[in-house]
Amino acid sequence: MSPDGFNPRVFRFCAWTGVIFVLMWLGGAGPTTGWVYLPPPSAADTAAKTVADYTGNVLAMRIGCILMIFSSMFYGTWGMAVSMLTKKVEGDYPILFYIQAVSLAACVVVVLLIGYFWGAAAWRAGETLPEVTQALNDIGWLGVLFTGAPFAVYQVALAVVTLSDKSAQPIYPRWSAYFNLFVSVFMVEASGILLFKTGPFSQNGLFVFYVPMICFFVWILVFTGLALKAINAKLAEQQLLQTSPQQNRRTLQAA
């Protein structure tokens, strides 16, 4: 750990948890549940069809929901690593950092509640009214696609602080700010799920599910790589500062 408290091991671990989140959430929603959630079913399915999906894979779906719920903590650790690296850019009034922190907390709750409601649907699937299981399942899907606001705010705040970094060696490259803004558009666009039950803007549509979800997970992987690069750059800078005084003392002694 350096004198200013920077611990590269902790930062690296937190940055890598972005990959853990991606694997846990997609693994829980996909292969673990028997591919019930991925690819997504149609929002026009009947309640009986939804119940059949759950009762046919109930144990696997419960395990998958557990994985999705616990993936939320890794989304939080990853997001804090990405944000903390830029905190000093704003100086004594890091309002954009705190906007990111609050938005990130909301995002973690959203990720947790997706698995929570799907897990609640799987808990009594086949034992309660089909409409109850369908309603819980719908709430989970609305959590996936109709809750883009905190994700978009986080991305926009990160983009603004990146563009305001005028140092010789900025934490993140400028193109990553525009990438943040690009992805934030799709976080908003996914809200179209509330308007349609079929077609490209529906739950299983191209523009509401596939494009936003692909952009979201690619965004996480891209910033995992950028955060690791920034951590290595900061570590190299600190090591250089530590060796320079020693070299100066040796030069003076030799003189």
The model's pTM is: 0.92
Residue 230: count other Cβ atoms within 10 Å of its Cβ. Answer: 22
Q: How confident is the model at residue 246 (pLDDT cuts 50, 70, 90)?
A: low
Q: What is the pLDDT of residues 169-203, one digit of tens each?
A: 999 999 999 999 999 999 999 999 999 999 999 99
Give the 3-state secondary structure percentages of the chain, helix then strand then coil, rounded to 5: 75, 0, 25
Calculate the dihedral angle through the C-alpha atoms of 190, 196, 197, 199, rounding to the nearest 10 degrees.
Answer: -80
**Residue among 203, 200, 86 nearest 154 (CA):** 86
Give the alpha-carbon dihedral of 238, 241, 243, 248, to 10 degrees: 180
Q: What is the mean pLDDT of the chain?
A: 93
Task: Place 88 in a pLDDT band, splitting at 50, 70 and 90.
Answer: very high
